[in-house]
Amino acid sequence: MRRPIQVALLLMCTALLAGCWDKAELIEFGYVQAVAVDKSGKEGIELTTLFYNPSGHGESTGMAPQPKMAIPIVTEASSVYEAVQDIPLHFGRRAKWDHMRIIMISEELARSKPLGEILDFFSRNSEQRATVLLLITRGKAKEYIKTKPYIEYTIGQQLRKIEETVSQYSAKTTKLPLYELAIQMMGQTNTAMIPYAYKTDKTGDIAVAGIALFKDQVLTGSIVSPADSQPLLMLLNRYNKGIIKLSCPESKGGKGHIRESFEIISIKTKLKPKIQGDQLTIQVKSNMRGSVSELHCTTLITAEEEQKMRVRVEEEVKSEMKAMIGRLQKRRLDVVNIGNMIYRHYPRLWKKWKPTWEERFATAKFDISIDVHILNTGLNIGETFGKKEKNE
């Protein structure tokens, strides 16, 4: 008797599953690829949303023009959410956020409004992926959305690929997903950093290089240059691959302006705070592996010459790190997370030091140690190209 009852209950349940009361057709949505957030008036927001156009893939037939691959929709309001709600007024579809590739914020807006206000909607939206990348732009962010991509179908995907590739292979900026920014903003030092994008003066092409630094959720000071981004990423242990330029020694031949290149293949950096009484010292230890990319004024034949090259690389990296630390201390920006380390390992001491942490960070000492391992000199032996060997 129980079995027929169980079967009947199961059939009733399957009947409920067949309902379509909450269905949504694909044609009801517009799929967002990128978003640009700019300042409008004194307190307003101008939101430019880039929608992907699936019909843009097709080839044009006859005299009919080929449809656009992406469609930008501009809305203005007092907040991001209000601007999002106005998208159907112009587009006729609801925004779908699952496939968004990048969020761009203009430098002007980032200096005048806290990041929390700008990004709150995107962090709460259940459709939005936390892996969406972020960019700060020089000038209006919406101008970047209007740019045609080189290879990718939309500029949103193009900018995402640029940010990922630059971070992976040249270390002139970092890659920053939304969830990593959230982690930074929850830290004890109230600092954060976001990759920077700008248009070149000569061609107007978009370049992603440099880093924007934030204090208390607002962009502060000048942008970290692409060259200075390298030592900063080393200190943060976020450096993947890149190149160190080494100046040739001064010589009678006038080669002092020529530079040689050393490619960093891998680098691991550890920062460890040491506390003695009221004195704070941070030990910085970096282990670096790389190879020679260009030689112009030196040779690498003997072990002694290789040792000299290691010393040159170590001194150059140490000099760049010291200069970067000096700039951060001058600006009192602990973006290298020393305060977070003390909070984790010495919570009682941090409670005492936190009110005056900016001043303490500005006077802290850094003890830097660099260890370089040269893997190879490329296909050539350790001579400059075209130079005859000494025994010939």
Q: pLDDT tens track of the chain, all 392 residues?
A: 567 666 666 766 665 655 554 555 556 788 999 999 999 988 899 999 999 887 655 555 555 555 577 889 999 999 999 999 999 999 888 889 999 999 999 999 999 999 999 999 999 988 888 999 999 999 999 999 999 998 888 899 999 999 999 999 999 999 999 999 999 999 999 999 999 999 998 888 999 999 999 999 999 999 999 999 999 999 999 999 999 999 887 644 544 467 899 999 999 999 999 999 889 999 999 999 999 988 888 888 888 988 999 999 999 999 999 999 999 999 999 999 999 999 999 999 999 999 999 999 999 999 999 999 999 877 666 666 656 555 54
Our separate counts of H helices and E strands in the chain read: 13, 13
Residue 137, number of CB atoms within 10 A of its CB: 28
Question: How many CB atoms lie under 10 A from the CB of residue 56?
Answer: 14
Out of 224, 254, 279, a domain closes at 224
Q: In the numeric block, which tokens belong to residue 54?
A: 């699936």
- 10 Å CB burial of residue 270 (0-12, 13-18, 19+) is exposed
Residues 188 and 138 reside in one and the same domain = yes
Residue 275: give its domain's CATH number.
3.30.300.210
CB atoms within 10 A of CB 34: 29
Q: Longest Cα pair distance anywhere in the chain, in angstroms? A: 105
Q: Hey, what amino acid is at 192?
A: A
Q: How many domains are contained in the chain?
A: 2
Query: In terms of residue numbers, what domain contains 192?
Result: 27-224
- pLDDT value of position 296: 83
How many Cα atoms sit within 13 Å of 389 on the Cβ side? Answer: 7
Residue 34 and residue 148 in one domain = yes
Q: Are 175 and 303 in a shared domain? A: no
Tell whether 116 is covered by a domain. yes
Q: How many CA atoms within 13 Å lie on the side-chain side of 90?
A: 17
Examine the domain organization and report whether 156 and 33 are in the same domain. Answer: yes
Of the three residues 224, 240, 260, the one that is the final residue of a domain is: 224
- Let me know: does 193 contact 176? Beta carbons within 8 Å: yes
Q: Is residue 257 part of a domain?
A: yes
Say if residue 305 is in the same domain as residue 330.
yes
14 in any annotated domain: no
Could you tell me which residues are beta bridge partners of residue 371?
287
Q: Output the pLDDT for position 251.
A: 46
pLDDT at 17: 59
Q: How high is the pLDDT of residue 300? A: 81
Domain boundary among 175, 199, 224: 224
Q: What is the DSSP letter of 53?
A: -
Residue 303 is encoded by which pair of tokens? Answer: 């072990």
Are the C-beta atoms of residues 245 and 239 closer than 8 Å to each other?
A: no
Rounded CA-CA distance 111/170 in Å is 27
Would 22 be classed as within a structural domain? no
Retrieve residue 240's tokens: 């993947």
The predicted pLDDT at position 233 comes to 98
Quote the CA–CA distance of 262 and 133 in Å, as a whole number. 30
Query: Does residue 265 lie within any of the structural domains?
Result: yes
Task: Say yes or no: 80 and 210 in one domain.
Answer: yes
311 and 286 fall within a common domain? yes
Length of the chain counted residue by residue: 392
Tokens 């949504």 correspond to 24
Task: With beta carbons less than 8 A apart as the criterion, state whether 136 and 224 touch.
Answer: no
Please report the pLDDT score of residue 47 as a whole number.
Answer: 97
Residue 172 lies inside a defined structural domain of this protein = yes
Query: Do residue 85 and residue 194 come from a single domain?
Result: yes
Same domain as 209, residue 194: yes
336 & 260 share domain: yes
Are 148 and 39 part of one and the same domain?
yes
Pairing of strands 242-247, 218-219: unpaired
Contact 250, 286 (CB under 8 A): no
Task: Examine residue 6 and state whether it is found in any structural domain, yes or no.
Answer: no
| Domain shared by 200 and 240, yes or no | no
